[in-house]
Structure 1
Amino acid sequence: MSASAKKQRRPVVLLRPVPGPSVVHDLWAGTKLLVVAGIGVLMTFYPGWVPIGLVALLVFVTARLAHVPWGALPSVPRVLWFLLFLGGFTAFFAAGPPEVTIGSVTLGLGGVLNFLQLTALSLVLLGLGALVSWTTNVAEIAPAVAKLGRPLRALRVPVDDWAVALALALRAFPMLIDEFRVLFAARRLRPRDQIDGPRLRRWGIEVVDLLAAAITVALRRADEMGDAITARGGTGQISAQPSGPKLRDWVAIGIVTALSAVSLYVELLTPLATST
Protein backbone atom coordinates (compact mmCIF):
# COMPACT_ATOMS: atom_id res chain seq x y z
CA MET A 1 0.00 0.00 0.00
CA SER A 2 1.40 3.37 -1.01
CA ALA A 3 1.87 6.26 1.37
CA SER A 4 -0.83 8.27 -0.40
CA ALA A 5 -3.34 5.47 0.10
CA LYS A 6 -2.53 5.30 3.81
CA LYS A 7 -3.05 9.04 4.20
CA GLN A 8 -6.34 8.99 2.34
CA ARG A 9 -9.09 10.16 4.64
CA ARG A 10 -12.19 8.08 5.20
CA PRO A 11 -15.31 10.18 4.54
CA VAL A 12 -18.31 10.41 6.82
CA VAL A 13 -20.83 7.76 5.70
CA LEU A 14 -24.27 8.22 7.22
CA LEU A 15 -27.82 7.15 6.34
CA ARG A 16 -26.44 4.02 4.67
CA PRO A 17 -26.73 0.80 6.67
CA VAL A 18 -23.78 -1.51 6.99
CA PRO A 19 -24.52 -4.64 4.92
CA GLY A 20 -25.09 -7.93 6.63
CA PRO A 21 -27.79 -9.27 8.97
CA SER A 22 -27.41 -8.92 12.72
CA VAL A 23 -29.50 -8.68 15.86
CA VAL A 24 -29.27 -4.90 15.80
CA HIS A 25 -30.27 -4.70 12.13
CA ASP A 26 -33.38 -6.76 12.87
CA LEU A 27 -34.61 -4.40 15.57
CA TRP A 28 -37.60 -2.22 14.78
CA ALA A 29 -36.67 1.32 13.75
CA GLY A 30 -39.05 2.74 16.35
CA THR A 31 -37.16 0.91 19.09
CA LYS A 32 -33.92 2.52 18.03
CA LEU A 33 -35.54 5.96 17.92
CA LEU A 34 -37.01 5.47 21.40
CA VAL A 35 -33.65 4.33 22.76
CA VAL A 36 -31.86 7.34 21.30
CA ALA A 37 -34.53 9.71 22.63
CA GLY A 38 -34.46 8.15 26.10
CA ILE A 39 -30.68 8.20 26.36
CA GLY A 40 -30.66 11.78 25.08
CA VAL A 41 -33.03 12.83 27.87
CA LEU A 42 -30.94 10.94 30.44
CA MET A 43 -27.74 12.60 29.29
CA THR A 44 -29.39 16.02 29.26
CA PHE A 45 -30.29 15.94 32.94
CA TYR A 46 -27.57 13.62 34.31
CA PRO A 47 -24.40 13.93 32.22
CA GLY A 48 -22.16 12.27 34.78
CA TRP A 49 -19.17 10.04 34.18
CA VAL A 50 -21.03 6.87 35.13
CA PRO A 51 -23.91 7.39 32.64
CA ILE A 52 -21.40 8.37 29.96
CA GLY A 53 -19.35 5.24 30.60
CA LEU A 54 -22.37 2.94 30.61
CA VAL A 55 -23.73 4.43 27.39
CA ALA A 56 -20.28 4.19 25.80
CA LEU A 57 -20.22 0.50 26.77
CA LEU A 58 -23.67 0.09 25.24
CA VAL A 59 -22.49 1.74 22.01
CA PHE A 60 -19.41 -0.48 21.83
CA VAL A 61 -21.30 -3.72 22.49
CA THR A 62 -24.03 -2.76 20.02
CA ALA A 63 -21.47 -1.95 17.36
CA ARG A 64 -19.84 -5.35 17.83
CA LEU A 65 -23.20 -7.10 17.64
CA ALA A 66 -24.03 -5.16 14.47
CA HIS A 67 -20.66 -6.12 12.91
CA VAL A 68 -19.79 -2.49 12.20
CA PRO A 69 -16.22 -2.46 10.81
CA TRP A 70 -13.62 -0.01 12.03
CA GLY A 71 -13.39 1.30 8.47
CA ALA A 72 -16.86 2.80 8.85
CA LEU A 73 -15.44 5.36 11.28
CA PRO A 74 -14.46 8.59 9.53
CA SER A 75 -10.97 10.01 9.73
CA VAL A 76 -10.49 12.81 12.23
CA PRO A 77 -9.10 15.96 10.58
CA ARG A 78 -6.02 17.50 12.10
CA VAL A 79 -7.89 20.76 12.56
CA LEU A 80 -10.30 19.02 14.93
CA TRP A 81 -7.41 17.67 17.03
CA PHE A 82 -6.00 21.18 17.20
CA LEU A 83 -9.36 22.60 18.28
CA LEU A 84 -9.70 19.95 20.98
CA PHE A 85 -6.22 20.73 22.26
CA LEU A 86 -6.98 24.45 22.21
CA GLY A 87 -10.26 23.91 24.06
CA GLY A 88 -8.57 21.77 26.72
CA PHE A 89 -5.76 24.29 27.12
CA THR A 90 -8.15 27.21 27.62
CA ALA A 91 -10.33 25.14 29.97
CA PHE A 92 -7.26 24.52 32.12
CA PHE A 93 -7.30 28.17 33.23
CA ALA A 94 -10.82 27.76 34.64
CA ALA A 95 -9.26 25.83 37.54
CA GLY A 96 -11.63 24.57 40.24
CA PRO A 97 -11.61 21.36 42.32
CA PRO A 98 -10.09 18.82 42.34
CA GLU A 99 -6.72 20.43 42.92
CA VAL A 100 -3.23 19.00 42.58
CA THR A 101 -0.31 20.50 44.50
CA ILE A 102 3.13 20.30 42.90
CA GLY A 103 5.64 21.83 45.23
CA SER A 104 4.41 25.31 45.99
CA VAL A 105 2.08 25.43 42.97
CA THR A 106 -1.57 24.38 43.21
CA LEU A 107 -3.30 23.43 39.96
CA GLY A 108 -7.06 23.16 39.61
CA LEU A 109 -8.24 20.43 37.24
CA GLY A 110 -11.95 21.21 37.38
CA GLY A 111 -12.06 23.03 34.06
CA VAL A 112 -10.14 20.31 32.22
CA LEU A 113 -12.34 17.58 33.68
CA ASN A 114 -15.48 19.46 32.66
CA PHE A 115 -14.12 19.86 29.13
CA LEU A 116 -13.24 16.16 28.93
CA GLN A 117 -16.69 15.25 30.23
CA LEU A 118 -18.38 17.42 27.61
CA THR A 119 -16.17 15.97 24.87
CA ALA A 120 -16.90 12.40 25.97
CA LEU A 121 -20.62 13.15 26.10
CA SER A 122 -20.55 14.54 22.56
CA LEU A 123 -18.64 11.51 21.26
CA VAL A 124 -21.05 9.08 22.91
CA LEU A 125 -24.12 10.79 21.49
CA LEU A 126 -22.54 10.99 18.04
CA GLY A 127 -21.70 7.29 18.21
CA LEU A 128 -25.26 6.47 19.25
CA GLY A 129 -26.69 8.39 16.31
CA ALA A 130 -24.19 6.84 13.91
CA LEU A 131 -25.19 3.35 15.08
CA VAL A 132 -28.81 4.05 14.23
CA SER A 133 -27.72 5.27 10.80
CA TRP A 134 -25.49 2.24 10.17
CA THR A 135 -28.09 -0.35 11.22
CA THR A 136 -31.39 1.12 9.99
CA ASN A 137 -32.78 1.25 6.50
CA VAL A 138 -34.13 4.67 5.58
CA ALA A 139 -37.38 3.11 4.33
CA GLU A 140 -38.12 1.88 7.87
CA ILE A 141 -38.03 5.34 9.47
CA ALA A 142 -41.32 6.73 8.13
CA PRO A 143 -43.55 3.79 9.21
CA ALA A 144 -41.90 3.81 12.64
CA VAL A 145 -42.45 7.55 13.10
CA ALA A 146 -46.07 7.20 11.94
CA LYS A 147 -46.71 4.40 14.45
CA LEU A 148 -45.01 6.19 17.33
CA GLY A 149 -46.96 9.36 16.61
CA ARG A 150 -50.33 7.61 16.37
CA PRO A 151 -51.57 9.03 19.73
CA LEU A 152 -51.06 12.54 18.35
CA ARG A 153 -53.63 11.94 15.62
CA ALA A 154 -56.38 12.50 18.20
CA LEU A 155 -55.10 16.08 18.41
CA ARG A 156 -55.27 16.37 14.60
CA VAL A 157 -51.50 16.48 14.28
CA PRO A 158 -50.43 15.55 10.70
CA VAL A 159 -48.20 12.69 11.82
CA ASP A 160 -48.28 10.91 8.45
CA ASP A 161 -47.24 14.07 6.61
CA TRP A 162 -44.39 14.61 9.04
CA ALA A 163 -43.27 11.01 8.62
CA VAL A 164 -43.32 11.32 4.82
CA ALA A 165 -41.38 14.59 4.93
CA LEU A 166 -38.77 13.01 7.21
CA ALA A 167 -38.47 9.95 4.99
CA LEU A 168 -38.03 12.02 1.85
CA ALA A 169 -35.40 14.19 3.53
CA LEU A 170 -33.45 11.15 4.69
CA ARG A 171 -33.66 9.59 1.24
CA ALA A 172 -32.57 12.76 -0.54
CA PHE A 173 -29.69 13.61 1.78
CA PRO A 174 -27.20 10.90 0.63
CA MET A 175 -28.07 11.47 -3.03
CA LEU A 176 -27.50 15.20 -2.76
CA ILE A 177 -24.17 14.66 -1.01
CA ASP A 178 -22.99 12.45 -3.88
CA GLU A 179 -24.23 14.96 -6.44
CA PHE A 180 -22.45 17.83 -4.69
CA ARG A 181 -19.20 15.87 -4.53
CA VAL A 182 -19.35 15.25 -8.26
CA LEU A 183 -20.23 18.90 -8.80
CA PHE A 184 -17.28 20.15 -6.75
CA ALA A 185 -14.91 17.70 -8.48
CA ALA A 186 -16.09 18.91 -11.89
CA ARG A 187 -15.64 22.48 -10.73
CA ARG A 188 -12.00 21.82 -9.81
CA LEU A 189 -11.30 20.29 -13.23
CA ARG A 190 -12.87 23.21 -15.04
CA PRO A 191 -10.42 25.93 -16.13
CA ARG A 192 -10.83 29.04 -14.06
CA ASP A 193 -12.09 32.13 -15.80
CA GLN A 194 -9.79 35.11 -15.85
CA ILE A 195 -11.79 37.73 -13.97
CA ASP A 196 -10.32 41.12 -13.30
CA GLY A 197 -10.81 42.59 -9.88
CA PRO A 198 -10.17 41.69 -6.26
CA ARG A 199 -9.99 38.10 -5.09
CA LEU A 200 -13.15 38.48 -3.01
CA ARG A 201 -15.12 39.31 -6.15
CA ARG A 202 -13.80 36.18 -7.92
CA TRP A 203 -14.76 34.03 -4.93
CA GLY A 204 -18.22 35.57 -4.93
CA ILE A 205 -18.73 34.70 -8.60
CA GLU A 206 -17.62 31.09 -8.03
CA VAL A 207 -19.95 30.74 -5.04
CA VAL A 208 -22.89 32.02 -7.09
CA ASP A 209 -22.10 29.56 -9.89
CA LEU A 210 -21.87 26.64 -7.44
CA LEU A 211 -25.13 27.59 -5.74
CA ALA A 212 -26.93 27.83 -9.08
CA ALA A 213 -25.63 24.41 -10.14
CA ALA A 214 -26.51 22.91 -6.73
CA ILE A 215 -30.07 24.24 -6.91
CA THR A 216 -30.43 22.83 -10.44
CA VAL A 217 -29.21 19.40 -9.30
CA ALA A 218 -31.55 19.44 -6.29
CA LEU A 219 -34.55 20.34 -8.45
CA ARG A 220 -33.71 17.61 -10.93
CA ARG A 221 -33.40 15.04 -8.16
CA ALA A 222 -36.68 16.22 -6.63
CA ASP A 223 -38.46 15.84 -9.96
CA GLU A 224 -37.12 12.31 -10.44
CA MET A 225 -38.09 11.35 -6.88
CA GLY A 226 -41.58 12.77 -7.36
CA ASP A 227 -42.08 10.70 -10.51
CA ALA A 228 -40.86 7.56 -8.72
CA ILE A 229 -43.20 8.15 -5.76
CA THR A 230 -46.17 8.74 -8.07
CA ALA A 231 -45.43 5.52 -9.96
CA ARG A 232 -45.41 3.57 -6.68
CA GLY A 233 -48.77 4.81 -5.44
CA GLY A 234 -48.13 8.21 -3.88
CA THR A 235 -46.68 9.44 -0.60
CA GLY A 236 -49.21 7.55 1.47
CA GLN A 237 -47.45 4.29 0.72
CA ILE A 238 -44.27 5.52 2.40
CA SER A 239 -45.73 5.61 5.90
CA ALA A 240 -48.32 2.85 5.40
CA GLN A 241 -45.93 -0.09 5.57
CA PRO A 242 -46.68 -2.46 8.46
CA SER A 243 -44.17 -2.19 11.28
CA GLY A 244 -44.09 -2.76 14.99
CA PRO A 245 -42.05 -4.08 17.91
CA LYS A 246 -41.35 -7.76 18.48
CA LEU A 247 -39.94 -9.77 21.36
CA ARG A 248 -36.34 -8.76 20.65
CA ASP A 249 -37.39 -5.11 20.71
CA TRP A 250 -38.87 -5.45 24.20
CA VAL A 251 -35.69 -7.17 25.34
CA ALA A 252 -33.61 -4.30 23.97
CA ILE A 253 -35.84 -1.73 25.65
CA GLY A 254 -35.55 -3.65 28.92
CA ILE A 255 -31.76 -3.65 28.73
CA VAL A 256 -31.64 0.09 28.06
CA THR A 257 -34.15 0.72 30.86
CA ALA A 258 -32.00 -1.25 33.29
CA LEU A 259 -28.94 0.67 32.16
CA SER A 260 -30.74 3.96 32.72
CA ALA A 261 -31.92 2.81 36.17
CA VAL A 262 -28.37 1.98 37.20
CA SER A 263 -27.19 5.37 35.97
CA LEU A 264 -29.92 7.17 37.91
CA TYR A 265 -29.12 5.14 41.03
CA VAL A 266 -25.46 6.10 40.89
CA GLU A 267 -26.20 9.75 40.10
CA LEU A 268 -28.97 10.29 42.65
CA LEU A 269 -28.84 7.80 45.51
CA THR A 270 -25.07 7.40 45.85
CA PRO A 271 -24.37 11.12 46.56
CA LEU A 272 -27.22 11.14 49.13
CA ALA A 273 -25.79 8.10 50.89
CA THR A 274 -22.29 9.57 51.06
CA SER A 275 -23.58 12.92 52.36
CA THR A 276 -25.43 11.26 55.22
Structure 2
Amino acid sequence: MKASIAQYYPGDSIVHRLDARAKFVAVATLAVALFVRDSFAGLAVFASAGVVAYGLSGVPVAWFWRAFRPLLWLIGLTFLTQLLFAPGEPFFSWWIFDFSWEGLQFAAFLSLRLLVLVLIGSVLTLTTAPLALTDGLAWLGRPLRRLRVPTDELALMVTIALRFIPTLLVELDQIMRAQRARGAEFGSGGPIRRAKALVPVLTPLFVLSFRRADELALAMEARCYQPGIVRTRLHPLRAGMPDAVLLAVTAAIVVAGLLV
Protein backbone atom coordinates (compact mmCIF):
# COMPACT_ATOMS: atom_id res chain seq x y z
CA MET A 1 0.00 0.00 0.00
CA LYS A 2 1.39 3.43 -0.97
CA ALA A 3 1.75 5.77 1.96
CA SER A 4 0.61 9.34 1.88
CA ILE A 5 0.53 12.26 4.21
CA ALA A 6 -2.44 12.25 6.63
CA GLN A 7 -3.03 8.55 5.99
CA TYR A 8 -3.79 6.28 8.95
CA TYR A 9 -1.41 3.39 9.61
CA PRO A 10 -3.18 0.57 11.51
CA GLY A 11 -1.31 -0.71 14.51
CA ASP A 12 -1.45 -1.62 18.19
CA SER A 13 1.43 0.40 19.60
CA ILE A 14 1.22 2.44 22.78
CA VAL A 15 0.83 5.58 20.66
CA HIS A 16 -2.07 4.02 18.73
CA ARG A 17 -3.84 3.16 21.98
CA LEU A 18 -3.64 6.69 23.39
CA ASP A 19 -6.82 8.75 23.48
CA ALA A 20 -7.26 10.94 20.40
CA ARG A 21 -8.00 14.00 22.55
CA ALA A 22 -4.78 13.65 24.52
CA LYS A 23 -2.74 13.21 21.35
CA PHE A 24 -4.34 16.24 19.72
CA VAL A 25 -3.73 18.43 22.79
CA ALA A 26 -0.13 17.22 23.00
CA VAL A 27 0.55 17.89 19.32
CA ALA A 28 -1.12 21.32 19.42
CA THR A 29 0.86 22.29 22.53
CA LEU A 30 4.16 21.20 21.00
CA ALA A 31 3.33 23.03 17.76
CA VAL A 32 2.66 26.29 19.60
CA ALA A 33 5.83 25.94 21.68
CA LEU A 34 7.77 25.14 18.51
CA PHE A 35 6.87 28.54 17.05
CA VAL A 36 7.33 30.42 20.31
CA ARG A 37 10.90 29.26 20.91
CA ASP A 38 13.49 30.64 18.45
CA SER A 39 16.61 28.63 19.21
CA PHE A 40 18.29 25.54 17.83
CA ALA A 41 18.52 24.09 21.35
CA GLY A 42 14.76 24.28 21.83
CA LEU A 43 14.25 22.92 18.34
CA ALA A 44 16.48 19.96 19.21
CA VAL A 45 14.33 19.21 22.28
CA PHE A 46 11.10 19.19 20.28
CA ALA A 47 12.71 17.20 17.46
CA SER A 48 13.91 14.57 19.96
CA ALA A 49 10.38 14.30 21.36
CA GLY A 50 9.00 13.81 17.85
CA VAL A 51 11.56 11.14 17.01
CA VAL A 52 10.86 9.24 20.25
CA ALA A 53 7.10 9.41 19.68
CA TYR A 54 7.52 8.21 16.12
CA GLY A 55 9.73 5.35 17.28
CA LEU A 56 7.12 4.27 19.83
CA SER A 57 4.39 4.35 17.18
CA GLY A 58 5.88 1.42 15.28
CA VAL A 59 5.24 3.08 11.91
CA PRO A 60 7.95 2.11 9.38
CA VAL A 61 10.40 4.85 8.46
CA ALA A 62 9.76 4.18 4.77
CA TRP A 63 6.07 4.91 5.36
CA PHE A 64 6.88 8.29 6.86
CA TRP A 65 9.38 9.09 4.11
CA ARG A 66 6.84 8.43 1.35
CA ALA A 67 4.32 10.54 3.24
CA PHE A 68 6.82 13.35 3.82
CA ARG A 69 8.38 13.43 0.36
CA PRO A 70 5.60 15.54 -1.28
CA LEU A 71 6.43 18.35 1.20
CA LEU A 72 10.12 18.53 0.32
CA TRP A 73 9.47 21.24 -2.26
CA LEU A 74 7.80 23.41 0.40
CA ILE A 75 10.74 23.04 2.78
CA GLY A 76 13.18 23.70 -0.04
CA LEU A 77 11.24 26.80 -1.11
CA THR A 78 11.21 28.07 2.48
CA PHE A 79 14.96 27.56 2.78
CA LEU A 80 15.72 29.27 -0.53
CA THR A 81 13.43 32.23 0.16
CA GLN A 82 14.93 32.95 3.57
CA LEU A 83 18.46 32.45 2.28
CA LEU A 84 17.99 34.99 -0.52
CA PHE A 85 15.98 37.67 1.24
CA ALA A 86 16.91 37.53 4.94
CA PRO A 87 18.91 40.61 6.04
CA GLY A 88 22.51 40.31 7.16
CA GLU A 89 26.14 40.95 6.27
CA PRO A 90 26.71 39.23 2.90
CA PHE A 91 29.60 36.82 2.46
CA PHE A 92 28.80 36.10 -1.18
CA SER A 93 26.92 37.99 -3.89
CA TRP A 94 25.51 36.76 -7.17
CA TRP A 95 23.57 38.93 -9.59
CA ILE A 96 21.01 40.79 -7.43
CA PHE A 97 21.17 38.35 -4.50
CA ASP A 98 23.27 38.63 -1.35
CA PHE A 99 23.99 35.56 0.78
CA SER A 100 24.65 36.13 4.47
CA TRP A 101 25.47 33.88 7.41
CA GLU A 102 22.43 35.27 9.23
CA GLY A 103 20.22 34.36 6.28
CA LEU A 104 21.73 30.88 6.08
CA GLN A 105 21.17 30.31 9.79
CA PHE A 106 17.61 31.63 9.66
CA ALA A 107 16.80 29.57 6.56
CA ALA A 108 18.13 26.40 8.20
CA PHE A 109 16.18 27.10 11.38
CA LEU A 110 12.86 27.68 9.60
CA SER A 111 13.32 24.59 7.42
CA LEU A 112 14.12 22.41 10.43
CA ARG A 113 11.17 23.89 12.32
CA LEU A 114 8.85 22.96 9.47
CA LEU A 115 10.34 19.47 9.33
CA VAL A 116 9.76 18.94 13.07
CA LEU A 117 6.21 20.27 12.74
CA VAL A 118 5.47 17.76 9.98
CA LEU A 119 7.01 14.97 12.06
CA ILE A 120 4.90 15.78 15.13
CA GLY A 121 1.73 16.18 13.08
CA SER A 122 2.36 12.90 11.27
CA VAL A 123 2.47 11.05 14.58
CA LEU A 124 -1.11 12.20 15.18
CA THR A 125 -2.53 11.44 11.73
CA LEU A 126 -0.68 8.15 11.23
CA THR A 127 -1.69 6.68 14.60
CA THR A 128 -5.26 7.98 14.99
CA ALA A 129 -8.20 6.38 13.22
CA PRO A 130 -10.42 8.78 11.25
CA LEU A 131 -13.46 8.19 13.46
CA ALA A 132 -11.47 8.67 16.66
CA LEU A 133 -9.95 11.87 15.27
CA THR A 134 -13.40 13.21 14.42
CA ASP A 135 -14.78 12.36 17.86
CA GLY A 136 -11.76 13.88 19.57
CA LEU A 137 -12.01 17.17 17.68
CA ALA A 138 -15.75 17.35 18.32
CA TRP A 139 -15.25 16.76 22.05
CA LEU A 140 -12.53 19.39 22.32
CA GLY A 141 -14.79 21.87 20.55
CA ARG A 142 -17.70 21.42 22.97
CA PRO A 143 -17.24 24.82 24.67
CA LEU A 144 -17.94 26.48 21.31
CA ARG A 145 -21.42 24.98 21.23
CA ARG A 146 -22.55 27.72 23.59
CA LEU A 147 -21.78 30.13 20.75
CA ARG A 148 -23.89 27.97 18.41
CA VAL A 149 -20.82 26.73 16.55
CA PRO A 150 -21.52 23.35 14.86
CA THR A 151 -18.47 21.64 16.32
CA ASP A 152 -19.47 18.12 15.23
CA GLU A 153 -19.88 19.20 11.62
CA LEU A 154 -16.63 21.19 11.67
CA ALA A 155 -14.74 18.22 13.10
CA LEU A 156 -16.19 15.99 10.40
CA MET A 157 -15.19 18.49 7.70
CA VAL A 158 -11.61 18.66 8.99
CA THR A 159 -11.33 14.88 9.12
CA ILE A 160 -12.75 14.44 5.63
CA ALA A 161 -10.36 17.07 4.30
CA LEU A 162 -7.39 15.29 5.88
CA ARG A 163 -8.45 11.89 4.60
CA PHE A 164 -9.10 13.21 1.10
CA ILE A 165 -5.42 14.11 0.70
CA PRO A 166 -4.26 10.48 0.24
CA THR A 167 -7.15 9.83 -2.15
CA LEU A 168 -6.33 12.86 -4.29
CA LEU A 169 -2.64 11.96 -4.37
CA VAL A 170 -3.46 8.45 -5.56
CA GLU A 171 -5.77 9.86 -8.24
CA LEU A 172 -3.06 12.32 -9.30
CA ASP A 173 -0.50 9.52 -9.59
CA GLN A 174 -2.86 7.44 -11.73
CA ILE A 175 -3.62 10.39 -14.03
CA MET A 176 0.06 11.20 -14.48
CA ARG A 177 0.85 7.56 -15.26
CA ALA A 178 -1.89 7.53 -17.88
CA GLN A 179 -0.58 10.78 -19.37
CA ARG A 180 2.96 9.41 -19.50
CA ALA A 181 1.69 6.33 -21.31
CA ARG A 182 0.33 8.72 -23.95
CA GLY A 183 3.68 10.47 -24.34
CA ALA A 184 3.39 13.31 -21.84
CA GLU A 185 6.60 14.53 -20.17
CA PHE A 186 6.43 16.17 -16.74
CA GLY A 187 10.10 16.25 -15.75
CA SER A 188 11.75 17.81 -18.80
CA GLY A 189 12.21 21.45 -19.75
CA GLY A 190 12.18 24.60 -17.66
CA PRO A 191 9.74 25.57 -14.90
CA ILE A 192 7.28 27.19 -17.32
CA ARG A 193 7.20 24.14 -19.57
CA ARG A 194 6.73 21.83 -16.59
CA ALA A 195 3.86 23.98 -15.32
CA LYS A 196 2.18 23.85 -18.73
CA ALA A 197 2.58 20.07 -18.81
CA LEU A 198 0.54 19.83 -15.60
CA VAL A 199 -2.46 21.68 -17.06
CA PRO A 200 -3.94 18.55 -18.76
CA VAL A 201 -3.70 16.80 -15.38
CA LEU A 202 -5.73 19.34 -13.42
CA THR A 203 -9.00 18.97 -15.34
CA PRO A 204 -9.43 15.20 -14.78
CA LEU A 205 -8.23 15.65 -11.20
CA PHE A 206 -10.98 18.19 -10.50
CA VAL A 207 -13.57 15.94 -12.17
CA LEU A 208 -12.51 12.95 -10.09
CA SER A 209 -12.51 15.08 -6.94
CA PHE A 210 -16.11 16.14 -7.48
CA ARG A 211 -17.04 12.56 -8.28
CA ARG A 212 -15.46 11.35 -5.04
CA ALA A 213 -17.27 14.06 -3.10
CA ASP A 214 -20.58 13.05 -4.67
CA GLU A 215 -19.97 9.39 -3.80
CA LEU A 216 -19.14 10.37 -0.22
CA ALA A 217 -22.33 12.44 0.06
CA LEU A 218 -24.43 9.54 -1.23
CA ALA A 219 -22.76 7.16 1.22
CA MET A 220 -23.46 9.52 4.14
CA GLU A 221 -27.09 9.91 3.08
CA ALA A 222 -27.45 6.13 2.79
CA ARG A 223 -26.32 5.89 6.41
CA CYS A 224 -28.96 8.46 7.44
CA TYR A 225 -26.47 11.17 8.34
CA GLN A 226 -28.15 14.42 9.36
CA PRO A 227 -26.33 17.56 10.56
CA GLY A 228 -27.12 18.62 14.11
CA ILE A 229 -28.28 15.19 15.25
CA VAL A 230 -26.42 13.81 18.26
CA ARG A 231 -25.37 10.26 17.47
CA THR A 232 -24.28 7.43 19.71
CA ARG A 233 -20.86 5.79 19.44
CA LEU A 234 -19.94 2.14 19.43
CA HIS A 235 -16.52 2.89 20.92
CA PRO A 236 -16.73 6.03 23.08
CA LEU A 237 -13.54 7.88 23.90
CA ARG A 238 -12.02 6.94 27.25
CA ALA A 239 -9.01 8.67 28.76
CA GLY A 240 -6.79 6.76 31.16
CA MET A 241 -3.51 6.93 33.03
CA PRO A 242 -1.36 6.68 29.85
CA ASP A 243 -3.08 9.80 28.52
CA ALA A 244 -2.37 11.69 31.75
CA VAL A 245 1.26 10.59 31.50
CA LEU A 246 1.36 11.85 27.91
CA LEU A 247 0.10 15.29 28.91
CA ALA A 248 2.54 15.47 31.83
CA VAL A 249 5.47 14.48 29.61
CA THR A 250 4.33 17.02 27.00
CA ALA A 251 4.30 19.77 29.63
CA ALA A 252 7.81 18.78 30.74
CA ILE A 253 9.06 18.81 27.14
CA VAL A 254 7.56 22.25 26.52
CA VAL A 255 9.16 23.65 29.68
CA ALA A 256 12.52 22.12 28.75
CA GLY A 257 12.28 23.41 25.19
CA LEU A 258 11.46 26.93 26.32
CA LEU A 259 14.18 27.09 28.97
CA VAL A 260 17.19 25.65 27.14
The alignment status of 1:59 with 2:50, answered yes or no, reads yes
1:40-86 C-alpha deviation (Å, 9 max, x unpaired) = 22122222223211111111111111112221233669978986886
1:149-188 superposed matches below 5 A: 149-188=141-180
For residues 173 and 213 of structure 1, the distance between their equivalents in structure 2, rounded to whole angstroms, comes to: 16
1:92-241 superposed matches below 5 A: 94-95=88-89, 109-190=101-182, 207=199, 209-234=200-225, 241=233
* C-alpha contact (below 8 Å) 2:88/2:103 kept by paired residues: yes
Q: CA RMSD in A?
A: 3.5
Match of 2:254 in 1: 260
4+ long deviations beyond 4 Å:
75-93, 203-206, 235-240
The alignment status of 1:40 with 2:31, answered yes or no, reads yes
Higher relative contact order (CA 8 A, sep 6+): 2
Mean Cα deviation higher: 109-118 or 27-36: 109-118
Q: Percent identity?
A: 29
SS of 2:16 mapped into structure 1:
coil
Mean Cα deviation higher: 63-72 or 210-219: 210-219
Letter in 2 for 1:127: L
- Pairs aligned (count): 236
Taking structure 1 as the reference length, the TM-score comes to 0.72
Shift in CA distance, 234/83, structure 1 to aligned 2, threshold 3 Å: closer
Taking structure 2 as the reference length, the TM-score comes to 0.76
1:194-251 C-alpha deviation (Å, 9 max, x unpaired) = xxxxxx99x86972x5333223212221222122222223155897532242221111
* C-alpha contact (below 8 Å) 1:23/1:65 kept by paired residues: yes
* C-alpha contact (below 8 Å) 1:15/1:174 kept by paired residues: yes
Larger radius of gyration: 1
Shift in CA distance, 32/239, structure 1 to aligned 2, threshold 3 Å: farther
Shift in CA distance, 117/240, structure 1 to aligned 2, threshold 3 Å: farther
SS of 1:73 mapped into structure 2:
helix
Q: Which runs of 5+ in 2 are unaligned?
A: 91-99, 185-191
Shift in CA distance, 109/66, structure 1 to aligned 2, threshold 3 Å: same
SS of 2:180 mapped into structure 1:
helix
* C-alpha contact (below 8 Å) 1:30/1:144 kept by paired residues: yes
Letter in 1 for 2:142: R
SS of 2:88 mapped into structure 1:
coil
Q: Which runs of 5+ in 1 are unaligned?
A: 1-10, 97-107, 193-199, 267-276
Shift in CA distance, 62/215, structure 1 to aligned 2, threshold 3 Å: same
* C-alpha contact (below 8 Å) 1:17/1:135 kept by paired residues: yes
1:124-143 C-alpha deviation (Å, 9 max, x unpaired) = 11111122222112222211
